[in-house]
Structure 1
Amino acid sequence: MKAAYLENGQIHVGEMPAPTPTKGQMLVRTHRCGLCASDAHFLCSGHEMVAKSQEFGGPYAAVDLGKRIVMGHEFVGEIVDYGPGSRRPLKVGAKVTSAPVMRQGGKTGIIGYVNELPGGFGEYMLLDEDLAMEVPADLPDDLAALIEPLAVGLEHARSGEPQPGEIPLVIGCGAIGLGVVAGLKLRGIGPIVAADFDAGRRAIAIQMGADVAVDPRELSPYDPIPDLGMKKPNLVYECVGKPGLLNQIVRGVGFGARIVMGGFCLEQEQLYVPLAQMKRLKINFACGEEQEDMELALRAIADGRIDVTPWLGARIGLSGVGEALDRMTDPASPVRTVVDPRTL
């Protein structure tokens, strides 16, 4: 199969062996795959991510960077076949997506971050038949590829246990932050405040359901908000992943606030605990999506309750993957670029 693969710290395009499904696995031909910031981080800091996963436990511990790896974990594709002895819950030819997790066939791990489990930057991939979900045939592939990143934001929104009448603040309007905004809006929570340095991302946050979007250089999002009758946010979602941001939030929020840490940061975070104690803060650490979040994301996109069209930028072939990953650090880049791995 053709694939964009990581080798020696660079993205190359070439031929790779197509995976063979075993019991409980389905072989899928990938139609689309979104580029995630996690892929860009792995491209730049793969050795550090693997080392820290091996030291502390984590999803990258089994990666062998001496071998080729096909990344890509935001995908939609078509079932081609099943491994022998599988239950075959969905028909061959059905369009499917899944959380990027494999539990079957003796090889477990995060799809796209295990050498033997190629991700969506290749023509073919393996999915766990117990986790795969059928996607409506009429849902465009570009939108279906956004189910997984939306599900992450929905999980983060849910993990904050938001209550009616609270004022949530979402810091960072990348895909995770925008998914949090959409998830809060879906739950009827608000008013919602979003904060981001980039005007374009703030505009998308408003489209996703935020009531107010602020530039932190002009207005501290922790202060009373004039457009909200001088009320202050009391539930903060950190969706950036930068060292020092947690301490900034602890200093900025008021008594009894809750903080959800969703940004993924490899660097050590310093926290002045006495201030958090005196303010009686509660800090929750959110992680990846669960099956209920994937199912909700699929339904909400399919029935139009959440419109992720503003996230979409370019559609590229395999030859554009390396350059697109390099551009992801630019806030002016699209929230999501999608790859069609069937094309070069």
Structure 2
Amino acid sequence: MKAAIFHEAGKPLTIGEVASPDPGPHELVLKVQACGICGSDLHCTEHGPFVLPGNTVMGHEFSGEVVGLGTQIAGRFAEGDRVTALPIIVPPIPPAGQEDIEPWLRSDVQTIGLGVVPGAYAEYVRVGVTQTKKLPEAVSYEMGALVEPLAVGLHAVNRAEMRSGDNVLVLGAGPIGLASIAFAQRMGAANVIVSEMTDQRRALAESVGATGTIDAKGNVLEQFAELTGAMMPDVVIEAVGIPGMVQQAIDFVKPKGRVVVVGVCQQQDQMMPMVAIMKEVGVQFVLGYEPRDWDTVLSFMANDRLKVEHLVTHRVGFDAFPDAFEALRTPSDQCKVMLKPA
């Protein structure tokens, strides 16, 4: 089958032929219909401690049509079903002592698109049956491929322990920042303000529910106070993922406020703990999502409570995909770029 292949840091992806997947007993094979480019894919293909191994096929934000069934599926899915899936495969029975932990923390987990199981920058992808979700009729394949990043944003908001009436500041309006904005607004925040450097992404932030936007190149707290009447936010969600942002979030949040770090920074960083100590700031790092977050996102989509189709700004086939991938290292007007293999 055709796939986009990562070889080594500093070199672009190439389009080539790789082996088509076969499903294990508790697995499915999907014909990929849409797969988004995630910022973590860009990070994992750069020089650093977390670079992926050569010959990796990435892609973990995807949807597709079921075309292959394992022998132990027992009628749960059928060929032709429209689905999305969490990008991990775990056996149905967990190892002893790991019955109550999240699936991605189990010792027998296999990640999809991150160097273990080949991902969905390909014509077909292998997924686990217990991690697969059927798409409601009203949810398109593109929307199905947005479930994964939206679930990350929902999880970040949940971990913020946000209270009704809180003032929220989101740093960065990339796809994860935008997802965080959408759910913070829907969960009762009085104000959801985004600090972002680009005009295009500030406009997108308003389209998903931001009550105001801030030019990150200016004085953020002054602009925040002008928009909200509050000197400092109750909650800061850091969704940029570069050195210095965690300290900036701590500096911005009010005393006894809460900082959630969802931006993926793969470089060493420095911070001044005394600032957080003196303010008694709660700092929460988050990883991914819980399976129920996917169900919530799909329910919002199915009931027309989440308008995010416009976040898909670019669609490309295999031929244009390597260039589209590299272009996201210095983005301009892109938000979510989708590979459409068909």
Q: When the two structures are superposed, what TM-score results if normalisation uses the length of structure 1?
A: 0.89
User: Which SS does the other structure have where 2:268 is aligned?
Assistant: coil
Query: Any idea what the Cα deviations from partners look like across 1:191-212, whole Å, max 9, x if unmatched?
Result: 1111101111111111111111
Specify the code of the residue in structure 1 equivalent to 2:248: Q
Contact 2:58–2:118 (8 Å) recurs in 1: yes
Question: Which amino acid in structure 1 is aligned with residue 185 of structure 2?
Answer: K
1:3–1:121 CA contact under 8 A, matched in 2: yes
1:324 aligned onto 2:324: yes
SS of residue paired to 1:276: helix
Q: Is the 8 A contact 1:184 1:190 kept in 2?
A: no
Give 1:100-139 correspondences, 5 Å limit. Answer: 100-104=87-91, 108-115=109-116, 117-139=117-139
Q: Matched residues in 2 for 1:136 and 1:313: separation?
A: 23
Q: 1:26 aligns with which of 25, 28, 50?
A: 28
Note the residue ranges of structure 1 that are not aligned, 5 or more in a row.
Answer: 51-62
Identify the residue that residue 54 of structure 1 maps to in structure 2: none
Is 1:98 aligned to 2:85, yes or no?
A: yes
The whole-number CA distance in structure 2 between the counterparts of 1:245 and 1:197 is 14
1:81 is aligned to 2:83: no
Q: Which runs of 5+ in 2 are unaligned?
A: 93-106
Residues 128-150 of structure 1, C-alpha deviation per residue, up to 9 Å, x if partnerless? 10110000244322222111111
Maintained 8 Å contact 2:154/2:180 = yes
Q: Is the 8 A contact 2:63 2:145 kept in 1?
A: yes
Q: Which has the higher mean CA deviation after the structures are superposed, 101-110 or 69-78?
A: 101-110
TM-fit CA distance, 1:85: 2.7
User: Distance in 1 between the 2:2 and 2:75 partners?
Assistant: 26
Aligned to 1:153: 153
Q: Deviations over 1:206-231 (max 9, x none)?
A: 11111111002233147652122344
Q: Does 1:42 align with 2:29?
A: no
In the TM superposition, residue 104 of structure 1 has moved relative to its aligned partner by 3.0
2:312 corresponds to which residue?
312
Please list the CA deviations of residues 271-318 of structure 1 after superposition, one character each: whole Å capped at 9, or x if unmatched.
Answer: 211221111111011110211111111121232211112211121111
Task: Between 93-102 and 231-240, report the one with greater CA deviation.
Answer: 231-240
Output aligned runs, 1:177-256, within 5 Å. 177-221=177-221, 225-256=225-256
Deviation of residue 92 (structure 1)?
1.8
Distance of aligned partners of 1:325 and 1:221 in 2 relative to their CA distance in 1, 3 Å threshold: farther
> Is the contact between residue 99 and residue 289 of structure 1 (CA under 8 Å) also seen in structure 2?
no
| CA distance, structure 2, for counterparts of residue 340 and residue 223 of structure 1 | 40
CA distance in 2, matches of 1:202, 1:31: 29
Aligned counterparts of 2:332 and 2:317: Cα–Cα separation in 1: 21
Aligned identity (percent) is 29
- 1:190 Cα shift? 2.2
Partner residue in 1 for 2:56: 69
Mapped partners of 1:222, 1:332: distance in 2: 27
- Distance change >3 Å, CA 107–CA 15, structure 1 → 2: farther
**Where does residue 57 of structure 1 map in the other structure?**
none
- Measured against aligned partners, the alpha-carbon deviations of 1:247-273 in whole angstroms (never above 9, x if no partner) come to 222233332121111111011221211
For 2:233, what is the secondary structure of its paired residue?
coil
Over the residues paired in the alignment, what is the CA RMSD in angstroms?
1.9
Which residue of structure 2 aligns with residue 60 of structure 1?
none
- Name the counterpart of 1:172: 172
Give yes or no for contact 1:150–1:297 (8 Å, CA) kept in 2. yes
Give the one of 4, 12, 15 matched to 2:14.
12
Q: CA 1:295 to 1:309, structure 2 compared with 1: closer, same or farther past 3 Å?
A: same
Task: Label 1:156 to 1:309 Cα distance change in 2 as closer, same or farther (>3 A).
Answer: same
CA deviation after TM superposition for structure 1 residue 333, in Å: 3.3
Rounded to whole Å, the distance in 2 between the matches of 1:187 and 1:79 is: 34
Alpha-carbon distance in 2 for matches of 1:80, 1:102:
17
Once residues 103 and 220 of structure 1 are traced to their aligned partners in structure 2, the CA distance between those partners, rounded to angstroms, is 44
Is 1:334 aligned to 2:334, yes or no? yes
Could you say if the C-alpha distance between residues 245 and 147 of structure 1 is closer, same or farther in structure 2, counting changes exceeding 3 Å?
A: same
> Are the structure 2 counterparts of residues 222 and 268 from structure 1 closer, same or farther at C-alpha, using a change threshold of 3 Å?
farther
